[in-house]
Amino acid sequence: MGSRVLVVILAFAPLGLGALAGGCSRGDSAAATPDGSSVPSPSGASATDASLAAADGLAVPPRERAPKPARPRVPLLERRGDSEGPIPYRVVEPGKDHPKTSLVIALHGRGDNAEGFSRTALRLGMDARIIVTEAPLLFGLNGGRQWYDMNAADAAAQVRQRVQDLAGLCDKLAKLYPDAGRPTLFGFSQGAVVAMQAAYEMPDRFAAVAALSGYLASEDGAAVPTLPLPLLVTAGTKDHIIPQEKSWAAAIILEKQGLAVKRFVFVGTHSIPPMVADELVVFLESAAVAEAARAMPAKRSPPAP
């Protein structure tokens, strides 16, 4: 009797380098990994799980992706920025910019770099000059970078040093773009950790801060904001890298410090799905409008006749 051979064919989907299409800064598909940051996720995850436990004990319902009119996206161009310190960066900006074009500083996640995260910035389609920064430390063998070594004993001190580097970058940008006003700031994963620490230590430097799946690294160096700093904190219900409880715990600390915290939770993994990208753009653009109005000199009343 002849033997039978069963042949099983496995199909593997290739990983792409998309940003928002796959929900994160590197890769277009599948699951969280233990290395800490730029992790792919299915796009357009729908919010169907209504039971969430936030760190403060309050139920924070996940967001449904409601149909909305298409937001007009501004055509953007990418160019080399500055390879020097304190933080190297690339620039993503409108083709026809203006001296008062608002500034956005973007911080990528672990394993990504400025070139990769620029694709995320391009897909946002914001009418803004986005300064896409690059972390100083190597990670992996494929050009990835990291803001701090999460396994090091001085990881929190490294994060605080990145905040000081960020302050130096703000000084540089203020000289390059003196009419742009204070920048807004957003980061993903390790970039969100640095962004949240910056909001904690120097809240008056920014018009708004968004931390996408991050946490507070240190409670040293707290500074009370002169004005309530708008802070957007997002978290995924299935995030096993930075669980939502860590993000909410940080949000509570910053809220008590006087920041105007907005939480946004979604059903998904460690990622930037389209619904988060939409929320991010609306949040940053609203803050930029408020900053422009704040920076505008007050009109003098005409002299009485």
**pLDDT over 80 (residue 33):** no
As a whole-number percent, the residues of the chain with pLDDT over 70 amount to 73
Taking only the tens place, the pLDDT of each residue in 112-133 is: 999 999 999 999 999 999 999 9
Average per-residue pLDDT in the chain? 81
Distance CA 161, CA 175 (A): 22
Q: What is the pLDDT of residue 47?
A: 40
User: DSSP assignment of 80-144, as one string?
Assistant: EEE-SSSS-EEEEEESS--TTPPEEEEEPPTT--HHHHHHHHHHH--SSEEEEE--SEEETTTTE
Q: Give me 152's structure tokens.
A: 């090091």
- State the average pLDDT over residues 209-227: 97
Taking only the tens place, the pLDDT of each residue in 234-293 is: 999 999 999 999 999 999 999 999 999 999 999 999 999 999 999 999 999 999 999 999
**pLDDT over 80 (residue 215):** yes
Q: What is the pLDDT of residue 52?
A: 38
**pLDDT over 60 (residue 10):** no
Q: What is the pLDDT of residue 106?
A: 98
Which domains does the chain carry?
76-293 (3.40.50.1820)
32-41, 68-77, 112-121, 175-184: range with lowest mean pLDDT: 32-41
1-10, 27-36, 274-283: range with lowest mean pLDDT: 27-36
- State the average pLDDT over residues 182-208: 98
Residue 185 near residue 208, CB atoms below 8 Å: yes
Q: What is the pLDDT of residue 66?
A: 52
